[in-house]
Amino acid sequence: MHYEAAQIIASDLFSRMVSLRRDLHQHPELSWQEYRTADQICRSLDQLGIRYQREFGGTTGIVAELPGEASDRCVALRADMDALPIIEETELPFKSTNQGVMHACGHDGHTSMLIGAATLLSQEPKLPANVRLIFQPAEETGKGAKAMIAAGGLENVAMIFGGHVDRHYPVGAIAVTDGAVNASSDRFRISITGKGGHAARPHETVDAVVVGSLMVMALQTIVSREVNPAHPSVVTVGRFEAGTAHDVIAGQARLEGSIRSQDQSVREALHRAIERIAKAIGQLHGTVVEVEITLGTPVVYNIPEYAALARSAAEMVVGRKGVVRMEIANMGGEDFGYYLEQIPGCYVRFGTAREGVEHYPAHSSKFDFDEESLAVGAAYYHAVAQLAGEQLASESLPQR
């Protein structure tokens, strides 16, 4: 699919969006530190004459609102702002000047898309309903959305829409999918206390390394033998710490890992299984085991009625052929799920791949995306805000 930005938005607006994206990319900021990023967003909103509140809820977040005819409830559009602690290894002329920090997940693009949408919406003679723009910090920590919600970011909001750039789809494609589109993402920590001693006398010890190793292998059977294969899920041990020297049997060990699923009942079953297996192995080998599970971001779940609305908006922008479905489960986490726990909405993916160009995955030190997708995102948000506003004004959507 060949696609050019000039097909859907004015060239001068696209140029401004590209300039903003490149400026943000060159000056990335970590979660909760997006001060310069916020300055640039506010400068753009000032130029558009859009009212906003910065330092929303005591964070670096910004909430802006465009007035519409139905002012009692509104449609929200959300973009994330933060970068990652990664040393950039691209050859881009606008590569990061903040050593060790990089926009390696496209949040610079997401912010630029929302500013582009704000421009298009501000040019409308009238909007059917209020449109709230949420520029959210700290998505990478999984805590930014919760902070915006706690500060009242969803007050009077009836539905919310967001999206993410995605190298798995070509430029000009928008992936709109019913149901789960991102997994829940939880963490676990298992502490093992055995009895240390000399490597030459293992019979006098309880080796925490051996016990931990047994746990690593046993935990892999949870997904393969306890979870319905129709429900995507992951249990990964990402860290194993133990020992102080080559000739010392470790008396203590610690495992840390990630739990991901796309179904709440499976999520809860994974938690129970990890604790059951870890403690059973610990008891079998005479160790004391403590299991700590920390809840992270929830599943991002698109209710079909609202996905249908998003699909209609996407078709207005890229045509029916440009609207696709996610065919493979995305097990990545996304704190947009916190919004969808409170109100309905839809989360989509904006294609960024172009034939003949190598595309590195998100969170890679060489990550980049095709900037033509900025136009797609801006036009989509413009369209979905209007369609959703019309639906809201007529109250034709079922309430949750």
Quick one: which H or E segment has residue 339?
helix 336-342
User: Is 69 marked active-site?
Assistant: no
- d(Cα 295, Cα 340) in Å, to the nearest integer? 16
Are the beta carbons of 37 and 98 closer than 8 angstroms? no
Quick one: which H or E segment has residue 324?
strand 323-324
- d(Cα 285, Cα 357) in Å, to the nearest integer? 53
Buried b (16+ CB within 10 A) or exposed e, 264-283: eebbebbbebbbebbbebbe
Q: Which of 34, 108, 139, 334 is catalytic?
A: 139
Buried b (16+ CB within 10 A) or exposed e, 116-145: bbbbbbeeeeebbbbbbbbbbbbbbbbbbb
User: Is 82 marked active-site?
Assistant: yes
Q: Which of 65, 82, 207, 335 is catalytic?
A: 82
Quick one: which H or E segment has residue 63?
strand 62-66
Q: What share of the chain is helix, strand, coil (3-state, %, to 5)?
A: 40, 30, 35
Catalytic residue annotation = 82, 139
